[in-house]
Amino acid sequence: MIATGLLGNEQYEVYLLDETHIPELITLQQEVVDALPDKAILQPLDHEELSFILIGNGLMIGVFVEGKLIAFRALLEPMIDEEHLGYDIGLKTEEELRKVLYQEISNVHPDYRGYRLQRTMADIIMQQVDESKFNTVCATVMPGNIASLKDKFSQNMHIAALKLKYGGKLRYVFMKSLPYKEYEWTEQQFVPMENTEAQQQLLKSGYIGISMKADGLDWLIQYVK
């Protein structure tokens, strides 16, 4: 056990997961997908992808209540290929790319939403990272996935790119350097999330996206440099 705490008046325990947990992970993923109004928001990991992480190509933690898995979060040590997110944030060499971890899937059972478990798991799993081996964490998020965007910003990750990934799907590429250092800036602009071109222009000009705020029914991304 690596952590414990309370969800309301229920106690939870956090463990590092291994391959024996795959059936529970698949069940939980399906329960999460079934509860989503927009199923496209979440791309569940299949048996092979879960196994790849759990045999030593990353880290996965699980939150248990009375022995039942109710949430999990994963970090992946990715293979180096042309889709590697390190290239999207400006890394060039294989040595640099090997120091990158991806924030992978994060699921919370519908019955346990509202306890900030996503954030709690992020804090716990990042404490398990060997910073002598890894110096950057990356992730991709679909524009419009508000919960996931908030999750990344809450961890001091920032938008480094906005581009087509995974066969033509528009994605924000987030990153965070380890250890984290506060970013200093003198200029800022707020841009509507749906204005892809304006955001890409700012990113090309050296801006990064560091937060978001609601503007009526729209969302604005704060870009700074």
Nearest to 79 by CA among 59, 104, 98, 54: 98
CA–CA distance, 174 with 154 (Å, rounded to integer): 12
Please give the pLDDT value at position 222. Answer: 98
Q: How much is the pLDDT for 11?
A: 97
Separation between Cα atoms, residue 180 and residue 34, nearest integer Å: 36
Beta strands 218-224; 100-108: pairing state? unpaired
**pLDDT of 43 over the 80 cut:** no
66-114 confidence digits (pLDDT tens):
999 999 999 999 999 999 999 999 999 999 999 999 998 889 999 999 9
Mean of the pLDDT values across residues 1-10?
94
- In the prediction, which pLDDT does 42 show? 73
For residue range 114-146, list pLDDT tens digits in order.
999 999 999 999 999 999 999 999 999 999 989
- Percent of the chain's residues with pLDDT above 90: 88
Answer whether residue 39 shows pLDDT above 70. no
Residue with token string 């329960």? 31
Other CB atoms within 10 A of residue 36 CB: 11
Give tens-digit pLDDT for 18-31.
999 999 999 999 99
The strand pairing partners of 71, in sequence order, are 63, 108
Residues 3 and 17: their CA atoms lie apart, in Å, by: 13
Cα–Cα separations (whole angstroms), residue 99 to 54, 86, 121, 166: 19, 9, 22, 22
Q: Show me where the domains of the chain are located.
A: 3-181, 183-225
Residues pairing with 87 in the sheet: none
Give mean pLDDT, residues 29-52. 85
CATH architecture for residues 3-181: 3-Layer(aba) Sandwich (3.40)
Q: Is the pLDDT of residue 33 over 80?
A: yes
- For the beta sheet containing 169-177, the strands, ordered from the edge strand earlier in sequence to the opposite edge, are 3-7, 10-16, 58-65, 68-76, 100-108, 136-141, 169-177, 158-165, 208-215, 218-224, 188-192
